[in-house]
Amino acid sequence: MQTILRETLVGRAAALLGDGTVDRVIGWKAGETSGDLTPAVFHSAEEVCSDFVWNSFCGANFSKYLIKETKKSENKVLVFLKPCDTYSFNQLLTEHRFDRERVYVIGVPCDGMAEMRVIREVCGDDVIGAERDGGTMVIRTLYDGDKVLPYADCLADRCRVCKSKKHVAYDELLGEDGDVIESARFDEVEKLEAMTAEERFAFWQGELSRCIRCNACRDVCPACTCEKCVFGNPGSGVENKAISDSFEEKMFHVIRAFHVAGRCTDCGECSRVCPQHIPLHLLNRKFIRDIDRFYGEYQAGAEVGSRAPLVNYTTEDVEPCDAVRKEGE
């Protein structure tokens, strides 16, 4: 376990602001509780020293923020990226979504981020705060005192099946870099594949019917970067939430999954921000698994400039009819 202290991040940010290497920093700011953080842009060392937060709940992937932030100034912006974040960073560079020369990346090691939703499922809704203490998490509750859980039990779902501790992009690295991990992230996909078609339909019907069409998944997704989205067009007829059991309601998420297929790095941001706790990442993982089966293993964002199988035709590519037959085997 590598522990990087807040003071280390603050010190580097203040130094880079002070010597003019960067003129702003993307980081985290406190919310109502220790687990309620919000992305923020800091413009001075004083701001960073007083308001910058680094703790076990800094799960947000800042890669997408760079699209707009790099357009605000020709000077560099500093961003702290965890290993999984750097895959999204590379994928956005591949798609020419921002200028690499306007970004200074500091890679920070990560042994998994906690999620307040997971903690509340165990400790109840009166949780008002939590703080990591080595291999445990000390949880403060409103009515039942302090509780202690193993830190591993507090991890976000995506962190329990982390695919990589290795940074694939950085200008500076804090601590030691890790390795790509033999992950069990497709286990849940296999459970879905083992269902009958009727069971799968019922599963997704139940999950997607809870969608309130807040668009948080789309807005946070590093692979959803179209300047004009069809689902944001008032004249499209699909801008707002449809009847929960309608065909149209399911299609929002299915179309979005197709849209990011081959470009999704499996960062899990869609599920992290969903207020209804719909496991949207499972849709994306199903596409990732199928792409690996049909075209060979491919990890989006592993290298800048790599062409995804779905946009890189070869004569050896599986034919659609064979893909369907292979899926049924």
Q: What is the mean pLDDT of the chain?
A: 90
Q: Which residue has the tokens 């069409």?
A: 213
Residue in 277, 272, 317, 279 with CA at minimum distance from that of residue 84? 272
Task: Give the closest residue to 53 by CA, choosing from 76, 74, 27.
Answer: 27
Question: What is the pTM for the complete model shown?
Answer: 0.92
Is the per-residue pLDDT at 261 higher than 70?
yes
* Averaged pLDDT for residues 158-165: 94
Angle formed by the axes of helices 320-328 and 281-295, to 10°? 110
Tokens, residue 223: 């692979």
- Contacts of residues 186-193 at CB distance under 8 Å and 24 or more positions apart, as own/partner, are 186/285, 186/289, 187/161, 188/279, 188/282, 188/285, 189/282, 189/285, 189/286, 189/289, 192/282, 192/286, 193/286
Inter-CA distances, 157 with 57, 161, 210, 239, 267, Å: 13, 7, 19, 30, 11
Q: What is the predicted pLDDT for the residue at 58? A: 94
Q: Report pLDDT digits (tens) over 95-120.
A: 999 999 999 999 999 999 999 999 99
Q: State the pLDDT at residue 316.
A: 79
What is the tens place of the pLDDT at every residue in 291-318?
998 888 999 999 999 988 888 877 877 7
Q: Is 20 left (phi over 0), alpha (psi -120 to 50) or beta?
A: left
* Predicted pLDDT of residue 227: 85
- Give the mean model confidence (pLDDT) for residues 36-43: 93
Q: pLDDT, tens digit, for every residue of 51-93?
A: 999 999 999 999 999 999 999 999 999 999 999 999 999 999 9
**Is the pLDDT score of 238 beyond 80?**
no
Does the pLDDT of residue 244 top 60, yes or no? no
Asked if pLDDT for residue 1 goes beyond 80, the answer is: no
